Amino acid sequence: MRYFLGFDLAVKSKLDIDAWRHKSLPSFEAAVPASNFHITAVFLGQITDRQLEMLSLGLDELTMQPQQFSLDMMGYWSKPKILWLGCTNVNDSVYQLYTSLIEVCKKSTIELPNRDYKPHVTLVRKVSANPPAALLAPNFVINVDKLHLFESVSGKQGVHYPIRQSWEMRKPIRPKGYS
């Protein structure tokens, strides 16, 4: 089974992004269904039951804060042929969380490729060439307060991403007298 850690989007955000896509971009044959919109934190790939158990225990111990993503740019990756919605600027706290997640994965003996983190929502797959610029600039603010373990499941209807486990992200509690 293939897994990844990531953030689900609120239904309203998924519908808003989908409406923007339909207004701003040409029609695509391999458009990702709005129900599949998410932001991947770490792609895990195929992992064993033991690695999954170690990962879960490690994430249970991790303190995570809620995050915010400003999806305000569109991009295209030619090798995987993906059109995506991403962030011009990424908060330092997002990178800190990413680094913490990578450490938990390493302690769980999960081998990951060494690549830069680019938070994004995949809009379309199998795009043969970089499409024209969007008619309307994207501008979505996504707040997340849970990290999820998603499974990538392929079926007759296409791929879908059921959530298999979740972890709350909480704001730090400050003692009285601190601001």
List active site positions. 38, 120
**Residues with Cβ < 8 Å from 167, sequence gap 6 or more?**
59, 60, 62, 64, 146, 147, 148
Q: Residue written as tokens 């808003």?
A: 16
Query: What CA–CA distance (Å, rounded) separates 103 from 20?
Result: 36
Check: CB of residue 67 under 8 Å from CB of residue 82.
no
Query: What CA–CA distance (Å, rounded) separates 103 from 98?
Result: 9
CB atoms under 10 Å from CB of 10, counted, come to 11
